[in-house]
Amino acid sequence: MTFEEIINKDKPVLIDFYADWCGPCKTMAVILKETKQRVGEAATIVKIDVDKNQRIASDYQVSSIPTLILFKNGEVFWRQSGVVPASEIEKMIRKAS
């Protein structure tokens, strides 16, 4: 499945742009696990390693990590860089649903 196929879903798709060497990204991974438990099947959460997917990161002007981008039907609904609380992510996913 291509990146475009992943983000062109009817339900919200949250992309986490991260890198293995990034400390805040490790914190974000824990928060995203909690977020997934909160939202269940309401959204898909996908992690994209910027070191392995430089073209996608560049296409979406990801210049700092972690960066979260929430897509709905292929369109950017919300984006935020840095560590974001699960409650904030859940709120945005519910708005996009």
Residues forming the active site = 22, 25
| Rounded CA separation 97/94 (Å) | 5
Tell me how far apart the alpha carbons of residues 90 and 23 are, in angstroms, rounded to a whole number.
Answer: 22
Q: How far apart are CA 20 and CA 35, in angstroms?
A: 20
